[in-house]
Amino acid sequence: MTRQQVIIPYIKICTRKRGIVKENHYICSGIQKTTMKEHYDVVVVGAGHAGCEAACAAAQMGAQTLLITMDMNKIAQMSCNPAVGGIAKGQIVREIDALGGHMAQVTDATTLQFRMLNRSKGPAMWSPRAQCDRGRFIWAWRQMVENQPNLSIWQDQVKELLVEGGRVAGVETYLGVTFTARCVIITAGTFLNGLMHIGRTKLAGGRCAEPPSLRLSESIAQHGITVGRMKTGTPVRIDGRSVHFDEMTLQPGDTDFHRFSYLNPLPTSPRGGENTLPCYITYTNPAVHERLRQGLPDSPLFNGQIQSIGPRYCPSIETKLVTFADKDQHQLFLEPEGLHTQEYYLNGFSSSLPIDVQLEALRLIPAFRDLKVYRPGYAIEYDYFDPTLLHHTLESKRVEGLFLAGQVNGTTGYEEAAGQGLVAGVNAALKCSGGGEFVMHRDESYIGVLIDDLVTKGVDEPYRMFTSRAEFRILLRQDDADARLTPRAYELGLATAERYHHWTEKRDEIERILTFCQDFSVKAALINPHLEAIGSTPLAKGCKLIDLITRPGITFDNLSPALSRLRETLNVTPNRREEIAEAAEIQIKYKGYIERERQMAEKMQRLENLHIRGRFHYEEIQSLSTEARQKLAHIDPETLAQASRIPGVSPSDVNVLLVLLGR
């Protein structure tokens, strides 16, 4: 065997607006080059939220899968806040669960606090969110991947993507091991040439105290895949023993039946009673703002040190000061990191200011006057790849068999990453078996909206999902993800028979309740005293129960005391009464809106069925606008509907293509 130099990186990275200039410093030591070589169907690089879902999905589909991670003790690490879900993100997690993924079950097993956000709005806006025990979350995920059939784990760092004849051949690691594969999924998160900033201090790393991934980004880019730079950040971590909690506002969680997974929670779940922890709310003040402003000259965001683009919807505290200069205070949330730790996450105070500025400013908040911290906030820059160079399957258009998922596609958030990972894992497994493709449309899931936005529109800042991005959000509610996706997942072999039976049982119970409501007549004389008691207008004459349920403020719960037949009908499967009754009630109350939106989705589906990839040489169609020719040639859309969503492609351009198609 020959000797080679293994490169242990210690780097200094400088960036500029376009492209990346690097000064790399290496510590080298000679080792024996290993001849170890193993073959897998699918190799997943990175064990974050995207990687874990990708690896499990591919393995569940029958592909022999390898998951490569730098540290097996940090699988599915929650790099930023220890929470899952939120506006639109919670819907994604329920979709992952409906498809047979695992994020929801792991979340339920480690939840410290659960809340259903936006309950004051319609059900299309309801979004589940859970505060999790960070340490338990990691170990629950590790238990999941280590016990997944067809899935192996290797602790190492990948340095090179192997490509032969325009097709993926495998990867090579820093330990000198070669893993050949039919498909490779890159889910490296913020580790690709990661560079952390705290004031004017720069440290190489993918996360605090963890090394970056070097060479892999360049290894991928050499195959014609465009690389860019993005930035994100994280707040200070606080020692709870130094906080005056009595001077903050308590924010308790919900205590009702809601959770993330449609299946029963894992037995390790600590949620409930003494294991439920609250969050706390406090505010910055003018004195805090003044101290922060004094540190702005040393902020990498404002002194030119960071040139890359950060997330618009999760700004740092220094960005808030500049953007909202008229505000005297900003809300902060103090969130527990775990059941048995004193560590707290300060949501709303992401910062890359110098350490002393962060601490001095925070100590000007009354509840933090004696503050001690475990580590400061910091910003991190990292490489990402242009997602318009991907198919909807998340396979690269440049390298066959290469899939990209997560923050490497320009997204932000655990949930967006996990959704992409699952889709990439399924499609990699299908590619290995010759089983076609798995693509979700915009009226099927938030994950479908997310991926379509990425590959059609691209990104110019870290992408975050919102309900407003989905034009069919009444169809994409958190309560019906199983109805939308579990049948498809079962046909694929991704969802188990147990999960499919769990859904069909719920479906049948909902249909039984709906039928009862359509058939059961309510007598005015019988129900009017009860309606008056609950503040609802009495009936002038009898009606069907379904018409009464459509009234605002009328629910199964406040009607059932007066209607024994309704109480009997709602006596459904044990432990699922509230879930099933809520789903049926939503279908009744919002039936008109749901049907109207489904009709709109069916009209759009006509354009989705017009496949145009490979049918036009866009540069030669002079009747298209110049911008449309350029955008269409670059993205090469699969369908006419996708073409219509490309920025710069006008309705008249779409009409030109319709004419050329003979429509």
Q: What is the pLDDT of residue 14?
A: 38
- Position 516, amino acid: F
Q: What is the pLDDT of residue 573?
A: 78
CA pair distance 578, 563, nearest whole angstrom? 17
- Please give the average per-residue pLDDT across 540-548, as a whole number: 95
Estimate the crossing angle of helix 134-146 against helix 49-60, to 10 degrees: 20
CA pair distance 490, 500, nearest whole angstrom? 6
Determine if residue 416 is left, alpha or beta; phi over 0 gives left, psi from -120 to 50 gives alpha, anything else beta.
Answer: alpha
Is this structure's pTM higher than 0.85? yes
Helix (H) / strand (E) containing 230: strand 227-239
Give the chain's domains with CATH numbers: 241-375 (2.40.30.260), 497-595 (1.10.10.1800), 609-660 (1.10.150.570)
pLDDT at 467 over 60: yes
Q: What is the pLDDT of residue 474?
A: 95
- Please give the average per-residue pLDDT across 623-641, as a whole number: 93
Q: What is the pLDDT of residue 203?
A: 96
* Residue 645 backbone dihedrals phi, psi, to 5 degrees: -95, 0
Determine if residue 100 is left, alpha or beta; phi over 0 gives left, psi from -120 to 50 gives alpha, anything else beta.
Answer: left
CA distances from 187 to 228, 325, 556 (A): 16, 38, 45
Q: What is the pLDDT of residue 662?
A: 84
Contact criterion met (CB below 8 Å) for 377 and 235: yes
Task: State what percent of residues in the chain have pLDDT above 70.
Answer: 93
* Residue 599 backbone dihedrals phi, psi, to 5 degrees: -65, -40
- Mapping DSSP to helix (H, G, I), strand (E, B) and coil, where does residue 184 land? strand
Contact criterion met (CB below 8 Å) for 255 and 275: no
CA pair distance 480, 104, nearest whole angstrom? 15
pLDDT digits (tens, 9 = 90+) for 491-540: 999 999 999 999 999 999 999 999 999 999 999 999 999 999 999 999 99
Tokens 């992401």 belong to 350
Contact criterion met (CB below 8 Å) for 54 and 402: no
Burial class (CB in 10 A: 0-12, 13-18, 19+), 273: exposed
- Residue 273: band (very low, low, confident or very high) from pLDDT cuts 50, 70, 90: very low
Contacts 24+ apart (CB under 8 A), 199-202: 199/295, 199/298, 199/299, 199/300, 199/352, 199/353, 199/354, 199/355, 199/357, 200/298, 200/300, 200/303, 200/305, 200/354, 201/354, 202/12, 202/13, 202/305
- Please give the average per-residue pLDDT across 623-644, as a whole number: 93
- Residue 117: band (very low, low, confident or very high) from pLDDT cuts 50, 70, 90: very high
Tokens 């993100």 belong to 89
How many whole angstroms from its chain centre is CA 82?
14
Task: Work out whether strand 227-239 and strand 378-385 pair parallel, antiparallel, or are unpaired.
Answer: antiparallel
Q: What is the pLDDT of residue 18?
A: 35
- Please give the average per-residue pLDDT across 416-440, as a whole number: 97
Helices (H) and strands (E) in the chain, counts: 21, 25
- Please give the average per-residue pLDDT across 219-233, as a whole number: 97
Task: Work out whether strand 26-32 and strand 195-198 pair parallel, antiparallel, or are unpaired.
Answer: unpaired
CA angle (292, 294, 300) in 5-degree steps: 75
pLDDT digits (tens, 9 = 90+) for 286-342: 999 999 999 999 999 999 999 998 888 889 999 999 999 999 999 999 999 999 999
Alpha-helical segments (H) within 405-555: 414-433, 446-457, 481-492, 497-519, 524-533, 545-549
Q: What is the pLDDT of residue 604?
A: 86
- Please give the average per-residue pLDDT across 467-484, as a whole number: 95
Contact criterion met (CB below 8 Å) for 425 and 61: yes
